[in-house]
Amino acid sequence: MTAQVIDGKAFAATVRAKVAAQVATLRQTAGIIPGLAVVLVGQDPASQVYVNSKGKQTVEVGMASFEHKLPADTSQAALLAIIAALNGDPSVHGILVQLPLPAHLDCDLVINAINPAKDVDGFHISNVGLLGTGQKAMVPCTPLGCLMLLRNLHGSLAGMDAVVVGRSNIVGKPMANLLLADNCTVTIAHSRTRDLPGVIARADIVVAAVGRPGFVRGAWIKPGATVIDVGINRIERDGKTVLVGDVDFAGAAAVAGAITPVPGGVGPMTIACLLANTLIACARAHGLPEPEGLTA
Ligand code: NAP
């Protein structure tokens, strides 16, 4: 079998186009411009690339982009003061603090200082609790993007066996919650899981969020399963730096029914969902009807 390659890049473009259309309507009918503030502390090269890309795409959909690039030795008090100012700024509807933060900063404290209504990454403890209890939340962008790709492919996910490899707060755990809410039977695997190949072998859906290049082998995958590869790993190949996922793409594509590539799979969906979340946060802040069809 040769798997269908899921084109996350094209799907993300359709999401951004829907966001742009609704932003234009909001601007024309109510004079409101959704605003996204991104805070970057330090000079991590990958984070700088992500932040620049987020800023560019924010402007492209007609939103206001506010970038705060701070030195690596920024104090916790200074960072919290910036977040407090953004919380109080009515032109800012979404706030994102780029992770990872330098080691001297308390990530949980910083994230939980963001107004939950502006927490477009969905990492604030309030949004985590809302998602976990099935209430209306800001949903973390990467797992939301994965869910949208899965729904687009399968329609209903009800009754499917899903295995999420990885239990991080930003991908694995919210991914599992979303799949559970969509009526999958969910297993979360991690570094202490016994017989990971055996666990993966029974999955209709495999979501890999491990941070290890090519970790999930094709031989572990049930024929016809859907494989969502969240991993973004930079490796040297033939003297060049290339991006690869957490799944052995060639091996898995020979067995799976459908698979996301890296790059061009989950990655583009993350920023598209960030923009959708910012529009949703803006509508909620102004008491407007919830934007429809963005994240279905
Ligand atoms: P993370 O916080 O490092 O978590 C990795 C998870 O993988 C942990 O739960 C860990 O288990 C598990 N793991 C590690 N080795 C394992 C093994 N041998 N067997 C089974 N599980 C193992 O990583 P993350 O932040 O979730 O990110 C995961 C990947 O996704 C990375 O490549 C990252 O770059 C990528 N990512 C992509 C996007 C995107 O937009 N596409 C967004 C975010 C992250 P323990 O908990 O037991 O240690």
Confidence label for 188 from pLDDT (cuts 50, 70 and 90)? very high
1 pLDDT above the threshold of 70: no
Torsion angles phi and psi, residue 68, rounded to 5: -120, 100
Active site residues: 54, 98, 121
Is the distance from CB of 57 to CB of 96 less than 8 angstroms? no
Among 50, 111, 168, say which to mutate for ligand 1: greatest number of ligand atoms within 8 Å of CB. Answer: 168
- 3-state secondary structure (DSSP) of residue 96: strand
**What residue's CA is closest to ligand 1, atom 30?**
231
- pLDDT average, residue stretch 192-218: 98
List pLDDT tens digits, range 20-48.
999 999 999 999 999 999 999 999 999 99
Q: How does DSSP classify residue 72?
A: T
The DSSP-derived string for 182-194 is: TT-EEEEE-TT-S
Strand 205-208 with 226-229, pairing: parallel
**What residue's CA is closest to ligand 1, atom 41?**
267
Q: What does the pLDDT read at residue 48?
A: 94
Is the distance from CB of 15 to CB of 269 less than 8 angstroms? yes
Q: What does the pLDDT read at residue 111?
A: 98
Ligand 1 in contact with 169 (CB < 6 A)?
no
Output the CA 165–ligand 1 centroid distance in Å: 8
Ligand 1 in contact with 189 (CB < 6 A)?
yes
Cβ neighbors of 143 (< 8 A, separation 6 or more) are: 171, 174, 175, 178
Q: Which amino acid is at 269?
A: M
Ligand 1 in contact with 98 (CB < 6 A)?
no
User: What's the whole-model pTM score?
Assistant: 0.98
Confidence label for 243 from pLDDT (cuts 50, 70 and 90)? very high
55 pLDDT above the threshold of 90: yes
Output the CA 190–ligand 1 centroid distance in Å: 9
What atom in ligand 1 is closest to the CA of residue 262? 41
List pLDDT tens digits, range 69-123.
999 999 999 999 999 999 999 999 999 999 999 999 999 999 999 999 999 999 9
Q: What does the pLDDT read at residue 59?
A: 98
Q: What does the pLDDT read at residue 295?
A: 85
Q: Give the count of beta carbons closer than 10 Å to the beta carbon of residue 168.
A: 15
Cβ neighbors of 285 (< 8 A, separation 6 or more) are: 90, 93, 117, 118
Confidence label for 275 from pLDDT (cuts 50, 70 and 90)? very high
Q: What does the pLDDT read at residue 285?
A: 97
Q: What does the pLDDT read at residue 40?
A: 98
Task: Name the average pLDDT for the chain.
Answer: 97
Record the tokens describing residue 184, joined without a space: 């999958």
- Quote the longest CA-to-CA distance of the chain: 57
**What residue's CA is closest to ligand 1, atom 42?**
142
Output the CA 164–ligand 1 centroid distance in Å: 10
Ligand 1 in contact with 192 (CB < 6 A)?
yes
Output the CA 210–ligand 1 centroid distance in Å: 3
Q: What share of the chain is helix, strand, coil (3-state, %, to 5)?
A: 40, 20, 40
Confidence label for 161 from pLDDT (cuts 50, 70 and 90)? very high
Q: What does the pLDDT read at residue 296?
A: 77
Peptide bond into 223 cis (omega under 30): no
List pLDDT tens digits, range 280-294.
999 999 999 999 889
